[in-house]
């Protein structure tokens, strides 16, 4: 007998943004796996789920993925994952942690226990799950897996700011904030640019946007749909204390004359 692994997006923060399907599965399963590693991410996914499902009596597996530097000087958890055949350069500790989680999950599945791996937002958008996926497949190629999409923080942010990300034949780019230097070139091609994880390089982004004449086209959104949400239409009004892991900037290209 084999259980099913459900990879469940729990949405951006507001428990009401869970899907009916996510709620049903979380009620149904007896074991929930929660990724850890980001400062705020881990407990948040669980607390979102707890907002609508009583988790009492369920087994919670906490999968801790430390964010640490590898020898190559790159954050281990930020390397390309092995999913779709890419090589992940990770140190031994992280590798051990991943394997531990894989073994934990497969053990339950082999006992016929369904497991839900929960992740903030949508599983396909920068979620930790895909770091495990190839490892799971390697050990259990026939495993039963279902990925349940959720509302991503990106569209939640657009909603809160009443912005469209794209209309008709428009082009959308979603890029980590470290690429802010390319903004000028990117806006010549894309109608919308979503800059992710802006909190660490916010000053550089403001400089790059100003230099590109795009500061007036940028909207800052933090913690969309969460209690401490902020939508700030003038980047000058963003204070240091507003910046956090869940901040992003949406840039709409100026209209053509």
Gap between the Cα atoms of 193 and 187, Å rounded: 7
3-class secondary-structure state, position 226: coil
How many CB atoms sit inside 10 A of residue 194's CB? 22
**CA–CA separation, 248 and 104 (whole Å):** 34
For 231, residues 6+ apart whose C-beta sits below 8 A from its C-beta are: 160, 161, 219, 220, 221, 224
Let me know: does 156 contact 246? Beta carbons within 8 Å.
no
Q: Closest by alpha carbon to 52, among 30, 19, 29?
A: 19
Q: Which is nearer to a copy of itself, 32 or 129 (CB)?
A: 129
Nearer to a copy of itself, 41 or 123 (CB): 123
Asked whether 111 and 99 are in contact (CB, 8 A), the reply is: no
Least distance CB 239 / a copy of itself (angstroms): 25
Q: φ, ψ for residue 62 (rounded to 5)? A: -95, 120
Shortest Cβ 129–a copy of itself spacing (Å) = 8
Minimal distance, residue 36 CB to a copy of itself, in Å: 17
The candidate with the shortest Cα–Cα distance to 218, out of 198, 229, 237, 232, is 232
- Nearer Cβ to a copy of itself, position 59 or 145? 145
For a copy of itself, the closer of residues 52 and 113 by Cβ is 52
Contact residues: a copy of itself, CB under 8 A: 7, 9, 11-12, 14-21, 23-24, 52, 75, 77-81, 83-87, 122-127, 129-131, 133, 145, 147-152, 155-156, 158-160, 162-176, 178-179, 190, 225, 252, 255-256
Of 50 and 59, CB closest to a copy of itself: 50
Nearer to a copy of itself, 227 or 256 (CB): 256
Please report where in the chains the tokens 């920068």 appear, as a residue: 126
| Shortest Cβ 207–a copy of itself spacing (Å) | 20
Minimum distance, C-beta of residue 168 to a copy of itself, in the bound complex (Å) = 4
The least distance separating a copy of itself from the CB of residue 109, rounded to whole angstroms, comes to: 16
């Amino acid at each position: 007998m084999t259980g099913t692994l459900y990879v469940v997006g729990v949405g951006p923060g507001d428990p009401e943004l869970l899907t009916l399907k996510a709620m049903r599965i979380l009620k149904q399963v007896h074991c929930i796996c929660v990724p850890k590693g980001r400062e705020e991410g881990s407990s948040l996914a669980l607390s979102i789920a707890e907002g609508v499902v009583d988790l009492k009596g369920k087994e919670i597996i906490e999968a801790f993925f430390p964010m640490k530097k590898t020898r190559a000087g790159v954050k281990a958890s930020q390397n390309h994952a092995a999913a779709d055949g890419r090589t992940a350069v990770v140190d031994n500790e992280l590798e051990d942690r991943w394997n531990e989680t894989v073994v934990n999950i497969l053990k339950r599945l082999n006992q016929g226990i369904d497991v839900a791996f929960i992740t903030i937002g949508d599983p396909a958008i920068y979620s930790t799950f895909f770091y495990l996926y190839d490892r799971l497949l390697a050990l259990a190629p026939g495993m039963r897996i279902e990925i349940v999409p959720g509302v991503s923080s990106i569209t939640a942010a657009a909603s809160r700011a009443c912005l469209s990300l794209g209309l008709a034949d428009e082009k959308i780019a979603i890029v980590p904030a470290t690429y802010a230097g390319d903004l000028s070139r990117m806006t010549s091609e894309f109608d919308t640019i979503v800059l992710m994880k802006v909190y660490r390089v916010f000053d550089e982004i403001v400089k790059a946007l100003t230099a590109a004449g795009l500061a007036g086209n940028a909207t800052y959104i933090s913690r969309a749909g969460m209690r401490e949400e902020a939508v700030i239409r003038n980047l000058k009004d963003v204070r240091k204390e507003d910046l956090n892991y869940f901040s992003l900037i949406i840039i709409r290209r100026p209209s053509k004359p």
